[in-house]
Each structure stands twice: as structure tokens, then as C-alpha cells.
Amino acid sequence: MTAGKPIAEIYASGKPVFSFEFFPPKTDKGATNLMRTAADLKESVEPDFISVTYGAGGTTRDRTHAVVTAIQDDLGITGLAHLTCVGATADEIGGVVSRLEGAGVRNVLALRGDPPEGAERFEAHEGGFAYATDLIAYLQEHHGVCIGGACYPECHPEATSAEADLLFAKAKQDAGADFLTTQLFFDSAVYVSFIERARAAGITIPIVPGIMPITNVAQIERFTKMCGASLPEALLARLRPVQDDPAAVMATGIEYAITQCRELIEKGAPGIHFYTLNKSHATRSVLAALR
């Protein structure tokens, strides 16, 4: 068993922290491919930590934890396990976290989670939690893990206003979150403005920008629509003429992400969290250029 390092300590180092997010595979072959991708990242760019999501509606929980544990034990990279409120009681969630701790996983990203497939809105499971803040408070009281939370520089799609959404982010810190990671965005000014508002609201913990290098135009347009993010017109003007040329889209997306990440680090971001979609080429290229 290899114990991961608390991520709050990694951010406290003062050096830019670079991390990657994967989603859990559905098959054994997929698990093998994911570990190969993670090993490639370790060899080429040495990520500070790797996070693994839940599947939609809280599915793939067991695979999430198996992959996080393997990343730590087999590759020696600190792991961050996503944890949601979907479809579980507080006791069940507590059991999951105890097993993670027993396997040496010391970091949890606490999320409310999306509604299960077919449900129009999120409803708390009987005996479970209604909000990420409730989950964070529970983890803070009952477990010794380092806790991350999510935030939305362009406002959560369900929030009534940007001000109300910012209060939820502050509540996560107050409940015990050690750091926050943003939803994806493509305008560095959006992040800078959000940081200014967050600090003015009393949020002092690290706020890490989440970046997804564009590799497919239709895909990123779908993602941004789902999560309430925007695509700058200047970026779209570069992408649309080449949207049917995968190599050109990839090159444009990598170039844009390199520029964006450099801007964010220069503006004081504590690091970059890359949304990889389980593919290493684009994110590896971006990080290689940054380093």
C-alpha cells in the first residue's frame, strides 16, 4: 500500500501544481489502457496528482476507487478520489471513505453529483446528503482526508445568481474544504475576475483552474452548454474553419491551452488541473510546453 500525500500540502509548496483528471473505465481493457496512459504521463511530465471521477449518477464507484488505489500503488502518484452524494446514505459514504483511507488514499473531491439518468433534478437519497457542503462537513467531522470541492467561475447552471453561487463556494470552505477546483473555462479573464470576487468574499483556500484542451469542436460545444461555460468568439473563429480536420483542431486546441495556462500561472494560479477525457497527448503536449 502506498499512501498519497495530502493535496493541500502539495499546493502549500508554492510551486505550480499540475494534475490530471480521468474518468473510470467500464471494462478491464479500458482499465489497462487508462493505467498505460497514466504511466505515460508519469514518465513524460510527472504529474503532482491524478484524480478519478465517478460515472454518471454515481456509477462505477468501485472502479473509481480501484483505479485511484492502483495509481498510487503501481505508479507512486498521489490519487484523488471523487465522491458524490448520489444514491448513498451517510453510512454508506462513510464506509466508502474508510475503505479509501485503509488503502492509503488521503484525498477526496466532495461533490453533490448529477441526477441519476432519467431524473430531471437532483434529490437527496434517503439518509444521505442534499448538498456538497453537507458531504464536506461530514468528511471534516468523521474522517481525516484532505477535502477538495468544485466551483464555477461562470456560475453553476442551477444557481440563481453569480453572487448566490459564490456563497456556496464560501460555504464549502467554511464546512472544511481545503481547496477548490473550477469547472472548465476558456477565457482567463473569467478566472481572474472570479478570484477577485472570491477573495473579497473571504475565500482564502487555493482555487485551481480546470482546463480542457480542445480536441473536438462538437464535443466541446456540447460540454460547455451542459456546464454553463462559454467559448470566446475569437476561439470559435479559429476552430470553425478547421472543425472537420481533427489534426488541425488538435493543434489549435493545444496552442490555445498553452497560451491560456501560461496566462493563468502568470496571474497567480496555484497550478492547472487538466480534464483529459482519458487521452494524454493534448495535455502532455501542453504541460511539456509549460515546463
Which secondary structure element, helix H or strand E, spans residue 69, and what is its range? helix 61-75
Residue whose cell numbers read 452548454? 225
Beta-bridged to residue 17, according to DSSP, are 271
From the list 209, 201, 218, the residue with the least C-alpha distance to 261 is 209
Which secondary structure element, helix H or strand E, spans residue 209, and what is its range? strand 207-211
47 to each of 103, 135, 274, how far by Cα in Å?
A: 21, 27, 10
Interstrand relation of 78-84 and 146-151 (parallel, antiparallel or unpaired): unpaired
Question: In whole angstroms, what is the distance from residue 165 CA to residue 73 CA?
Answer: 37
Task: Say if CB 191 and CB 164 are below 8 A apart.
Answer: no
Q: Is 123 part of the annotated catalytic residue set?
A: no
Phi then psi for residue 271, to 5 deg, are 165, -165
Phi then psi for residue 100, to 5 deg, are -60, -45
Question: In whole angstroms, what is the distance from residue 252 CA to residue 215 CA?
Answer: 8
The residue from 9, 21, 141, 221 that is catalytic is 21
Residues annotated catalytic, as ranges: 21
